[in-house]
Amino acid sequence: MTTPQQEARAALEAAGRLPDAELDIAAVALQFARVDQPVADWQAAQQHLSDLARAAVELASADAQADAGDLARRRATLAELLHGEFGYAGDTESYDDPSNANLLKVIERRRGLPVALGILWLHAAEAAGWEAHGVDFPGHFLVALSGRGQVVVDVFGEGRALEAKDLRRLLKTFAGESAELGRDTLAPMGKRAVLLRLQNNIKVRRLREGDLTGAVACTEDMLRLAPDAAPLWREAGLMHQRLGHVTAAILSLERFLQLSPDGPQAGRVRGLLEELRHRLN
C-alpha cells in the first residue's frame, strides 16, 4: 500500500514527463504540498481549486469587456475573486513561515508568499481562458495578464496593477538603488519555473535553519518535476556530499555532467567526482 508521500511523488514524476504547457500548475503545487503535509485533507483543497476555477469561469462569462480583452477589467475581476470573495492576502506578519509556500496551508490560512498566491492567480486566469504568466522579478514574484497589451500585477499587494514607476521602486527595494528596469527584469516564466520558484523558498529556508536533509529532499522533489534541471542536480550532489552520502552525491553529479558537460562548473564537478570515487575504493 502506497503512502500519501509516495502518491504525491509519483504524481510529481508524472508531471515531470509533461510539456510545460500541459502542466496543471495548481494541481502540481498541491502535490508538492502533500509531500510535507501527508495527513492534510488534500482532496478538500483540490475541491477548493475546482470551486475557484468555476467561479472564474462564471465571472468571465458575465463580464463581456473582460472576456473581450480589457486587461483592467480582467485584473479587477481576478483581484475581487481571489482577494475579495476568497479572502487571500500576502502574509506580512510571518513572511518566512514555511506554510506560506505550501499550497495546502495557503488554502487553509488564506495567506501566502507572492509565488503561492501567484499560482492561484494563474490557476484562475487559465480557467477563465485569459492569458497570464509568472514574472521572474528579482525578490518579488509578479503576474502579468495579457490581452490588449499587458498589465503587471502585484499578487502579494491584493492584485494592484504596477506601472513603470512602481516596478522601478520595487526593483530598487530588492536589488539596490543602482538597479534599473531592463529587458530581463520582467522575463516571463513557464509553469515549471514558477513551481520551482515556489519550492526554492522551502529549500532556502531549510538551508538557513541547517536542515540539510530536508533541503536535499526538497531538491530531489523539484527534480521529479524538472528532471533536466542541471543546476538542481549539482545542488543535490553537493548537499549529499556534505551529508556523507557518497553514492548519492556521485549519481547526482554524474547526472549534472550529462546535462551540462562544459564550463567552469563542470570542471570543478569532475574534480569533486574523482575525489568521491576514491572514497569508495
Is the pTM for the entire model greater than 0.75?
A: yes
Contact 134/142 with Cβ under 8 angstroms?
yes
Q: Produce one character per residue of 215-240: b if its CB has 16 or more CB atoms within 10 Å, e if not.
A: bbbbbbbbbbbbeebbebbbbbbbbb
Give the pLDDT of the chain (281 residues) as one tens digit per residue: 899 999 999 999 999 999 999 999 999 999 999 999 999 999 999 999 999 999 999 999 999 999 899 999 999 999 999 999 999 999 999 999 999 999 999 999 999 999 999 999 999 999 999 999 999 998 899 999 998 889 999 999 999 999 999 999 999 998 888 888 887 888 899 999 999 999 999 999 999 999 999 999 999 999 999 999 999 999 999 999 999 999 999 999 999 999 999 999 999 999 999 999 998 87
Cβ neighbors of 85 (< 8 A, separation 6 or more) are 55
Domain definitions of the chain by residue range: 4-189, 228-280
Pinpoint the alpha helices (H) of 80-182: 103-109, 114-128, 164-175
Q: Distance between CA atoms of 71 and 79, rounded to whole angstroms?
A: 12
Which amino acid appears at position 188 of this protein? P
